[in-house]
Amino acid sequence: MGQKVNPIGLRLGIVKTWDSRWYADKNYADYIFEDYRIRRFIKSKLYHAGVSRIEIERSSKLIRLRIHTARPGIVIGKKGAEISQLKKEIENLVSNEVMIDIQEVRKPEIDAQLVAENVALQIERRVAFRRAMKRGVTSAMRFRAV
């Protein structure tokens, strides 16, 4: 039987960094569960915005969220209305104050998470899976993915 290695764990500290950056002694499990709930909530709320990655940093009284998205205009909204509403909803989930930063994904055709979600959406719409996969791969190759 082959030995399977987690692709993220293999690259941690070398070419990738942690998605959650904080330290806790006693309430470690609470923070892990809180991070999970935050990520699940943001992914479900902003699915149409193409959320690629969510980074969470914690200090004593502040949680800083960095949301990497393909369409930052949808997340921010007109005059920042959507992002302030999102901030209030997340603060209801957690006990600390929340600060949200939005990062744009420059080439969403190359981002693995966004390509996989696009293929999954096509399969849900009953597109032939081989065609959906080939379309994703060819668009990534066209944008110089290696």
> Which part of the chain has CATH 3.30.300.20?
13-104
Identity of the amino acid at 116: A
Closest among 17, 92, 101 to 65, alpha carbons compared: 101
Please give the CATH superfamily to which domain 13-104 belongs. K homology (KH) domain (3.30.300.20)
Long-range contacts of 5-12 (CB under 8 A, 24+ apart): none
Tell me: the pLDDT tens digits for 51-88? 999 999 999 899 999 999 999 999 999 999 999 999 99
SS3 assignment, position 10: helix
Tokens 């104050």 correspond to 97
Tell me: the pLDDT tens digits for 8-60? 899 999 999 999 999 999 999 999 999 999 999 999 999 999 999 999 999 98
Beta bridge partners of 21: 57
Give the global pTM: 0.89
CA dist., res. 19 & res. 41, Å (int): 16
Cβ proximity of 113 and 69 under 8 Å: no
Tell me the two tokens of residue 90: 């997340």
